[in-house]
């Protein structure tokens, strides 16, 4: 099949479809609690950071990448130059 | 002992109604008493695909609500005498179907027929849930395409959790019917292969219906494909599928129309 691939300059798309489905369904079968978990993680992580610096909600980006073995939760927080420690609570 | 079979998929347009008609007719052609029931209230089409659209007087909703007797609503097929159709309502709302009413109708159908085949509406809501609720067996119709496979996975989950059998802790027999399959494209890596879909969904394979012009021709004519052209590739695939439904063990192959090299290449057993 590889000679055909090089002949037409296109890779088979079916294996890509299969891999995408396997990863997606593994997550979907794990249950709907997943999205709640992400929301909770986001909330708590931000809470911790806010104790130390003032965070602008608009400057926070949250990304999720579901992989086969591991999932990545990426939280991007822009810390301004003039970041000052937030007033300590209590 | 009557068997109630739901033909379902989640996704629309994958071939539920075509397959309901073809499986129902194929079973009836072997002498079984079969009724096909359209659960797609508001968007009925089984009558049209079966060529009975001009003979509809009463429908499932009329029977559920007690406005008509079951015998008045059943339409006997003119070509296969052991085949009947119970059409859906075209005008009513799907909320007119009550769980109690559906239970009563299914119970009555069980007494009259060997096979009660329920054509589910697309989606995962009320209509689809009512169509699958009383099923002993399910045919999950899937195209070798990502969105169809994903929706089938969802439906399989529902079959295992929200049906009457599931609630009683009993198993519901699930079968995969792969439709619109193109063996040549699958071999070239352009389409999910049967093995891929089976591995992902992990339910037994009932049959592979090849993509075929005969399917559209059959619906144009208002005939199940097993009647319009019994020797065509899709018809043969449906005939084999019903033999498996009846408990026979057969190797699954993709029937093909083409002759020559392709025939030899793709007629080999695939699962």
At B258 the pLDDT is 56
Task: Work out the pLDDT band at A90, boundaries 50, 70, 90.
Answer: very low
Report yes or no on B271 lying in a domain. no
A24–B154: do the CB atoms touch at under 8 Å? no
The larger pLDDT score, comparing residue B106 to residue B261, is at: B106
Contact B189 A14 (CB under 8 A): yes
| A50-86 per-residue burial string, b: 16 or more CB within 10 A, e: under 16 | eeeeebeeeeeeeeeeeeeeeeeeeeeeeeeeeeeee
State whether residue A37 is helix, strand or coil: helix
- Judging contacts by C-beta atoms under 8 Å, the chain A residues touching residue B265 are none
Beta bridge partners of B173: B137
Closest residue in A to B155 (Cα) is A29
CATH no. for A20-78? 3.30.1070.10
pTM beyond cutoff 0.90: no
CATH number at residue B105: 3.40.50.300
Question: Residue B203: its pLDDT value, please?
Answer: 96
Asked if A29 and B200 come within 8 Å (Cβ–Cβ), the reply is no
Strands (DSSP E) along B9-112, which ranges? 34-38, 75-76, 83-86
Which residues 59-88 of A are in CB contact (within 8 Å) with B?
Answer: none
3-state helix, strand, coil in chain A (%, to 5): 50, 20, 35
Q: Containing domain of residue B258, as a range?
A: 3-266
- Write the residue in A1, A21, A29 that is nearest to B189 by C-beta: A1
Q: Is pLDDT of B67 > 70?
A: yes
Q: Is A20 on the interface with B (CB under 8 A)?
A: yes
At residue A4, the pLDDT reads 52
What does the alpha-carbon distance between residue B136 and residue A82 come to, in Å, rounded to a whole number?
67
Q: At what angle do helices B194-201 and B146-159 cross, to 10 degrees?
A: 30
B268 exposed, middle or buried (CB, 10 Å; 0-12, 13-18, 19+)?
Answer: exposed
**Known binding-site positions of B:** 11-18
Tokens of B148: 């169809």
| Residue in the structure block whose two tokens are 């008609």 | B21
Judge whether B53 lies within some domain: yes
Q: Please give the ipTM for the structure prediction.
A: 0.76
Split into its structural domains, chain B has a count of: 1
Per-residue pLDDT tens digits for A32-71: 556 677 777 777 888 888 888 887 777 777 777 777 777 7
């Amino acid at each position: 099949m590889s000679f055909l691939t090089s002949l037409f300059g296109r890779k088979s798309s079916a294996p890509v479809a299969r891999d995408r489905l396997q990863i997606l369904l593994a997550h979907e079968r794990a249950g709907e609690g997943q999205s709640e978990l992400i929301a909770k993680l986001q909330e708590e992580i931000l809470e911790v950071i806010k104790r130390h610096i003032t965070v602008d909600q608009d400057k926070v980006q949250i990304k999720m990448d579901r992989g086969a073995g591991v999932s990545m939760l990426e939280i991007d927080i822009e810390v301004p130059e003039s970041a000052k420690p937030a007033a300590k609570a209590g | 002992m009557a068997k109630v079979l739901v033909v379902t998929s989640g996704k629309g347009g994958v071939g539920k109604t075509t397959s309901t008609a073809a499986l129902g007719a194929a079973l009836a052609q072997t002498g079984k008493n079969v009724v096909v029931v359209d659960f797609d209230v508001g968007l009925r089409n089984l009558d049209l695909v079966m060529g009975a659209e001009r003979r509809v007087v009463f429908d499932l909703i009329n029977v559920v609500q007690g406005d008509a007797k079951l015998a008045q609503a059943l339409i006997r097929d003119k070509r296969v005498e052991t085949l009947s159709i119970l059409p859906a309502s075209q005008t009513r709302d799907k909320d007119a179907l009550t769980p109690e009413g559906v239970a009563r109708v299914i119970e009555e159908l069980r007494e009259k027929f060997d096979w009660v085949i329920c054509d589910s509406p697309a989606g995962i809501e009320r209509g689809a849930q009512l169509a699958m609720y009383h099923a002993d067996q399910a045919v999950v119709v899937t195209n070798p395409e990502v969105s169809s496979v994903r929706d089938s996975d969802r439906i399989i989950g529902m079959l295992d959790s929200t049906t009457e059998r599931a609630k009683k802790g009993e198993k519901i027999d699930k079968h995969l019917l792969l439709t619109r399959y193109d063996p040549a494209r699958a071999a070239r890596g352009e389409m999910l292969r049967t093995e891929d879909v089976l591995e992902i969904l992990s339910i037994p394979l009932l049959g592979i219906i090849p993509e075929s012009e005969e399917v559209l021709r059959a619906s144009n004519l208002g005939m199940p494909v097993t009647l319009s052209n019994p020797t065509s590739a899709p018809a043969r695939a449906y005939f084999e599928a019903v033999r498996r439904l009846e408990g026979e063990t057969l190797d699954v192959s993709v029937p093909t129309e083409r002759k020559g090299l392709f025939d030899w290449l793709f007629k080999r057993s695939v699962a």
